[in-house]
């Protein structure tokens, strides 16, 4: 895997945007003009970095994908300066500050600048402050070596070996080894034509690779920052929760999956739903909560779809791909059929979760009203089966759509012994 694609990203603009935020928080009082100044300064920087910046004569697909997904910084800025508006009134670091202390920091002071830097770095990693970190024990220095050992040996080495096997199984399918993204194979996806048991294996591989790929990058960043002494282990709580006792789609998204987008999407979705239903946080109705959940998934889907739409789409099927025939006819007019077809599954994957959770919750409610009981293990088994069949095809469609967009998934693999063994034996799954 080559990392030169990182050089094609507009890091100078992202760095400028990241530096402007704590400066604004430190120098400009919350009322009355901060949000207007912040948006007028940061949005042009992000707009240029996202939509105008050129990645060179031969842009790499992975750089384009990340450039599109970094549009999430628009949501971050909106949440900070428009939705939250006055973070001094809400955000403080457990064990370091109190709300009254943060509010007492004067403008242009070193204390407030340090708070602003910490506020930005914590929230951009998706880690909350008082709303999440209160349960995290500050680890002593003597435990640091144990933390590093667990991180390097278990989370990075052992789990990467599992990831490597699953990822190379995916690479050994006809979809990747052949030319399944050619115009004549538009409707193929990586599991099509395989027996059900192979599709099931491939689905598990796909889910695990997405899960571990994100977790690996997070753990590598944690290792670097903590080794340099900039952060402590407690500043990097586990990115993913435990699957223990989480065997519904709703609990997986709520308790297991990462929260990297939580602070950037939920407050925006909640503010919209409160405006629509004229409610506040204390008096939110069921309809308001449901709209919040739906909009959160839609915002998440929009960010992922932006990344897919930025791909070159020059591998054959890009200009011919079809969206499903059951979609509303309005999507087919004015040439939208081709364009929407490039990011359809990338977007739909997320609002789809809302409807799955509603269906799941309704089934659970009906079962509870019967008054019947079920052994916990049977309940867990049925839940896992439902999760599997609800997710595995649409997750593969999302990954396949990225491949059709021009991302060479083979380039994401490392030249490990496992990868060389698959190549040497010409494994064909």
DSSP 75-89: HHHHIIIIII--GGG
- What is the model's pLDDT at position 30? 83
pLDDT at 41 over 80: yes
Question: pLDDT tens digit string along 52-105?
Answer: 998 777 888 889 999 999 999 999 999 989 998 888 887 777 667 778 888 888
The full set of domain ranges for the chain reads: 4-135, 141-424
- C-alpha to C-alpha distance for 225 and 230, rounded to whole angstroms: 6
Q: Using 50, 70 and 90 to split pLDDT, how confident is the model at 4? A: confident
Q: Could you tell me the sign of the dihedral formed by the alpha carbons of 163, 165, 171, 175, in that order?
A: negative
Which of 7-11, 195-199, 285-289, 366-370 is the least confident region? 195-199
- What is the model's pLDDT at position 35? 92
- What is the model's pLDDT at position 128? 45
Mean pLDDT, range 348-362, rounded to an integer: 92
Q: Using 50, 70 and 90 to split pLDDT, how confident is the model at 315? A: low
pLDDT at 337 over 70: no
The gap from C-alpha 319 to its chain's centroid, in whole angstroms, comes to: 27
Q: Identify which of 318, 356, 364 has the alpha carbon closest to the alpha carbon of residue 339.
A: 318
- What is the model's pLDDT at position 94? 67
- What is the model's pLDDT at position 126? 44
Question: pLDDT tens digit string along 373-416?
Answer: 888 889 888 988 888 888 877 887 788 788 778 787 777 778 88
Q: Using 50, 70 and 90 to split pLDDT, how confident is the model at 46? A: very high
- What is the model's pLDDT at position 359? 92
List Cβ<8 Å contacts ≥24 apart for 319-326.
320/183, 320/186, 321/186, 321/404, 322/186, 322/187
- C-alpha to C-alpha distance for 260 and 240, rounded to whole angstroms: 10
């Amino acid at each position: 895997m080559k990392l030169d694609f990182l050089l094609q990203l507009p890091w100078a603009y992202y760095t400028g945007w990241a530096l402007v935020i704590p400066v604004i928080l430190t120098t400009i009082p919350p009322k009355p003009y901060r949000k207007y100044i912040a948006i007028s300064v940061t949005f042009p920087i992000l707009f240029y970095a996202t939509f105008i910046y050129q990645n060179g004569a031969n842009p790499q697909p992975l750089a384009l994908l990340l450039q599109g997904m970094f549009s999430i910084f628009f949501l971050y800025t909106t949440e900070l300066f428009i939705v939250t508006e006055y973070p001094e009134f809400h955000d403080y670091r457990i064990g370091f500050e109190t709300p009254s202390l943060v509010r007492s920091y004067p403008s242009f002071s070193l204390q407030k600048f340090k708070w602003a830097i910490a506020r930005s770095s914590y929230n951009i990693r998706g880690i909350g402050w008082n709303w999440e970190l209160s349960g995290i024990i500050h680890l002593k220095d003597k435990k640091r070596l144990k933390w590093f050992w667990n991180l390097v040996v278990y989370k990075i080495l052992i789990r990467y070996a599992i990831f490597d096997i699953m990822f190379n199984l995916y690479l050994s399918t006809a979809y990747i080894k052949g030319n399944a993204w050619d115009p004549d194979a538009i409707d193929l996806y990586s599991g099509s034509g395989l027996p059900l048991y192979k599709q099931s294996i491939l689905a598990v591989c796909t889910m695990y690779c997405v899960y571990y790929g994100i977790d690996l990058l997070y753990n590598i960043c944690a290792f670097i920052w903590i080794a340099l002494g900039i952060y402590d282990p407690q500043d990097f709580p586990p990115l993913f929760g435990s699957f223990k006792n989480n065997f519904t789609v709703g609990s997986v998204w709520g308790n297991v999956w990462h929260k990297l987008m939580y602070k950037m999407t939920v407050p925006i979705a909640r503010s919209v739903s409160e405006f629509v239903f004229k409610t506040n946080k204390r008096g939110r109705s069921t309809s308001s909560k449901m709209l919040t959940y739906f909009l959160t998934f839609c915002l998440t889907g929009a960010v992922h779809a932006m990344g897919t739409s930025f791909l070159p789409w020059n591998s054959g099927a890009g200009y011919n791909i079809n969206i499903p025939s059951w979609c509303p006819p309005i999507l087919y007019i004015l040439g939208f059929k081709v364009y929407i077809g490039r990011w359809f599954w990338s977007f739909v994957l997320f609002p789809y979760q809302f409807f799955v959770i509603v269906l799941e919750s309704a089934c659970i409610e009906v079962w509870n009203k019967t008054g019947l009981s079920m052994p916990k293990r049977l309940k867990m088994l049925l839940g896992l089966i439902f999760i599997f069949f609800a997710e595995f095809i649409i997750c593969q469609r999302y990954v396949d759509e990225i491949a059709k967009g021009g991302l060479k998934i083979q380039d994401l693999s490392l030249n490990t012994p496992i990868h060389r063994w698959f190549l040497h034996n010409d494994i064909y799954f």
